[in-house]
Amino acid sequence: SYQDVRSRCYVRKEKKLALNFSGLIKEKCKLLGKVSLVQKVNEGLESSLKDAILEKELIEAENLETIYENLDRSISKLEDEILFLENELKVEKTKHFQKGELMVDILKIIKSLEDESKSLKSQAKITLRIFKMNKEAVRVAIKESLDENSQLQKMTFE
């Protein structure tokens, strides 16, 4: 009958749909499996990426620490060098100041000696003039004495 035919058509259609549906479910299962596999691979890659980032950050931190230590040592050496140079500068300034004072003292002594030399020259000139005057006076006195002596001798012989 018509209903039987219709029923069979319907059953065939249902079988066809069921078969199609079954294929789609299998395809979905395969796709879900692939998605699961991709998710696992993705998780592995994310984990590897995180590990790589952590390792990179650790290496960078170690490098920065090494750089910091080197800079700290360099700064310490430079500070020591600055202190050394400041002390040397103080010593040189002190020496320069002492040399300046010594030079002033030497110049004072030279000036004093020059003044004393001028004074001694002046005294020597005065003494020489006095000596020349005394010499002349003595010569005159000797001549007078000789003349007087000569006259006395003439008188005694006469």
For every residue of 70-125, DSSP letters joined together read HHHHHHHHHHHHHHHHHHHHHHHHHHHHHHHHHHHHHHHHHHHHHHHHHHHHHHHH
pTM of this prediction?
0.45
Overall average pLDDT of the 121-133 stretch: 94
The conformation of residue 158, written as its DSSP 8-state character, comes to: -
Q: Per-residue pLDDT for 23 more than 70?
A: yes
Quote the pLDDT of residue 143.
94
CA 129/CA 140 separation, integer angstroms: 16
Mean pLDDT throughout 27-39? 95
The per-residue pLDDT for 7 is 80
Whether residue 155 has pLDDT greater than 90: no
DSSP summary character for residue 1: -
Residue 72: is its pLDDT beyond 70? yes
Q: In residues, how long is the chain?
A: 158
Single-letter residue type at 11: V
pLDDT, the chain, mean: 92
